[in-house]
């Protein structure tokens, strides 16, 4: 089924998609969001297993935790250019997600934001990004990743069990590579550091680095 959400309802502007509003609507295949909304709240489309693409309009500034969690058919996402945080679990277990933009103002990618996104082969991280939190890309399909120089904080197990990951570029803003960052990355053959040898020697490496 298709859903178009209007700009106004009973004469009042529609400004948000509420918490769990479309949760487990398993027959929802497409939804059109109006330019009047500023928020998509937590779990708004959790478990919408037939939803195959979504455009989050540029009026939206906030998308809540788990808003598209387990949308297993979701393949393409366009995120509002006003969003600054990719929330926890936002696209967790979206096993068909292959095409997504991370807007240029995003500063943080939350915990398990892209966990188990098996079809996600590539993603461009913007130079505004400073923080990637725990397990953000764990068990995803990434084949290569460049961590921009702006990133100064990595959580645990960010790229753990990315079986297809072959090459990584680590930005010079990183001072610590925590435990589990590349655990289980059995195809990883190339790691490039964007800074100097002196900077690399000052990086704190997790117990399982070797």
DSSP per residue, 83-136: --EE-TTTTTT-TT--EE---TT--EE-TTTTTT-TT----PPPTT--EE-TTT
pLDDT at 29: 93
pLDDT at 40: 97
| C-alpha distance from residue 29 to each of 32, 98, 120 (Å) | 11, 17, 20
pLDDT at 208: 83
CA 150/CA 89 separation, integer angstroms: 23
Summarize pLDDT for 95-140 with one digit per residue, the tens.
999 999 999 999 999 999 999 999 999 999 999 999 999 999 999 9
pLDDT at 175: 95
| C-alpha distance from residue 83 to each of 35, 62, 210 (Å) | 14, 6, 37
- Is 155 in a helix, a strand, or coil? coil
> DSSP of 43-73, one letter per residue?
TTTTT-TT--EEE--TT--EE-TTTTTT-TT
pLDDT at 210 over 80: no
Q: Are the C-beta atoms of 42 and 21 separated by less than 8 Å?
A: no
Summarize pLDDT for 132-151 with one digit per residue, the tens.
999 999 999 999 999 999 99
pTM value is: 0.95
Q: Which residues contact 9 (CB under 8 A, 6 or more apart)?
A: none
Q: Which residues contact 128 (CB under 8 A, 6 or more apart)?
A: 84, 104, 105, 106, 107, 150
pLDDT at 23: 87
pLDDT at 182 over 90: yes
Over range 144-162, report the average pLDDT.
98
């Amino acid at each position: 089924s298709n859903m178009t959400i209007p700009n106004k309802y009973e004469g009042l502007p529609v400004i948000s998609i509420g918490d769990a509003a479309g949760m487990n609507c398993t027959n929802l295949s497409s939804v059109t969001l109006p330019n009047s909304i500023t928020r998509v709240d937590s779990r708004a489309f959790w478990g919408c297993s037939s939803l195959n693409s979504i455009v989050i309009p540029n009026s939206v500034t906030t998308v809540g935790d788990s808003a598209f969690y387990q949308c297993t058919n979701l393949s393409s996402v366009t995120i509002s250019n006003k969003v600054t945080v990719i929330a926890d679990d936002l696209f967790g277990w979206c096993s068909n997600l292959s095409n997504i933009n991370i807007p240029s103002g995003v500063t943080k990618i939350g915990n398990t934001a892209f966990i188990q996104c098996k079809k996600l082969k590539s993603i461009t991280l913007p130079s505004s990004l400073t923080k990637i939190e725990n397990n953000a890309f764990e068990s995803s399909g990434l084949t290569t990743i460049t961590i921009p120089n702006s990133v100064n904080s990595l959580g645990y197990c960010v790229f753990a069990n990315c079986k297809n990951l072959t090459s990584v570029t680590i930005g010079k803003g990183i001072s610590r590579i925590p435990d589990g960052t590349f655990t289980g990355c059995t195809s990883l053959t190339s790691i490039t550091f964007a800074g100097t040898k002196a900077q690399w020697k000052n990086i704190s490496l997790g117990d399982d680095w070797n």
